[in-house]
Amino acid sequence: MEAMKMLYPALKAGMWGYIDSVGNFSIQARFDRAEEFHEGFSLVVLNDEWCYIDQKGSPVFRTGFTNQPREFSGPVLYDKDGWIMHRSMRHFYEGRAAVWRGNSGYGYIDSGGIFVISPQFSEVDDFSEGVAAAAVPEERNCGNWGYIDREGNWIISPQFYYARHFCEGLAPVRWKESILLGYIDRIGKKIIEPSFDWAWSFSEGLAQVEVDSNHGYIDQSGRIVIFPEFEDARRFRNGFAAVRLGKQWGFIDAEGRLATEPQFDAVGEFSEGLAQVFMKNKDTDAYPYYPFKVGYIDTHGNVVIPIRYEWSTSFHAGLAVVREAIWGPSIGIDRTGQCLWKQA
């Protein structure tokens, strides 16, 4: 199997294509919109239609939905009559991508663009650890969720009011008889009693939970190991989790200690020892849709790459791609912020 390449959306002459890790166009600019690649596939708008493409730029599945301009970020699918049909775009996870088919509901396609699980669900989640959460359509109003395998067979029958993907062997669910969330294992056995106002999937042995509008973390026994004291939080990644106190974001370590004091308007996740951090653009009138500047900090909270870019990626193999202007040329930088190449 051919190795996946790192490809980045790039603009040229008003159209989108993809550049490689040295700044050369690997997929020529011919798309009206272009998302980032995931598992070797990306979502693009070609001739006013959302399509999945492979890393050669070839369409593998045409969704039948058109793209319409709008005044806020993120893609939306419309049918040919202009009706919104899809609340979010689905990327490939574990070789499956969820696709909406109108009144039939959601199904899943494989990497060849073939429906391997026929459209039949009112709601779905992405595949993780070989299974996906899915809800049956006749129970749309009460959210009758269960779990299916890669062929669409039920491995945990629909019985939950809410369910999300498995991670590290556990999944957060809400039982119909409870207003609180707990966790089940892969056979549907209750492992952590419903105790939380909201709950997220595990990452690096810890899961974010909400109790009385505050966020903290539990271990896989359900024990609270980081007290709920944050107004918002994110999953652990590479030893750190983003947390919000007031309006500002910082980072904690796995012991709950502040590693970076809350001081940023938004943050990303750590990758290769650096994390994206965002500050609001002072001239918000000039940048109504892209109101942030972005730079990078290290694990001690030091800004090591100045907060001056309008778009950026996380670091992979020592490289991040940034833009000084949102519609400007892409620039490859190393972990010190030095320019490696600039898109011609």
User: CA-to-CA distance for 4 and 277, rounded, in angstroms?
Assistant: 27
Q: Residue 71 above 50 pLDDT?
A: no
pLDDT of residue 283: 64
Which tokens belong to 91? 């990327």
- What secondary structure, in 3-state letters, does 66-77 show? ECCCCCCCCCCE
Query: Where in the chain are the domains?
Result: 265-344
Give residues with Cβ within 8 angstroms of 79, minimum separation 6.
Answer: 64, 65, 66, 85, 102
pLDDT, tens digit, 9 for 90 and up, residues 8-19? 999 999 999 999
> What SS3 class is residue 268?
strand
Q: Which helix (H) or strand (E) holds 78?
A: strand 77-78
**Phi, psi of 35, rounded to the nearest 5 degrees:** -95, 175
Whether the CB-CB separation of 138 and 159 falls below 8 Å is answered with no
DSSP bridge partners of 51 = 44, 62
Q: Residue 291 above 50 pLDDT?
A: yes
Q: Considering the chain, what percentage of its residues have pLDDT values greater than 90?
A: 78
pLDDT of residue 290: 65
Instruction: Name the pLDDT band for 326 (thresholds 50, 70, 90).
Output: confident
Q: What type of residue sits at position 234?
A: R
- Mean pLDDT rounded to a whole number for the chain: 90
Q: What type of residue sits at position 150?
A: R
Q: Average of pLDDT values for 273-292?
A: 77
The CB-side HSE value for 271 (13 A sphere, CA atoms) comes to 15
Q: What is the pTM of this model?
A: 0.88
Nearest residue to 244 (alpha-carbon basis) of 257, 259, 263: 263
State the maximum Cα–Cα separation within the chain, in Å, rounded to a whole number. 60
pLDDT of residue 285: 55
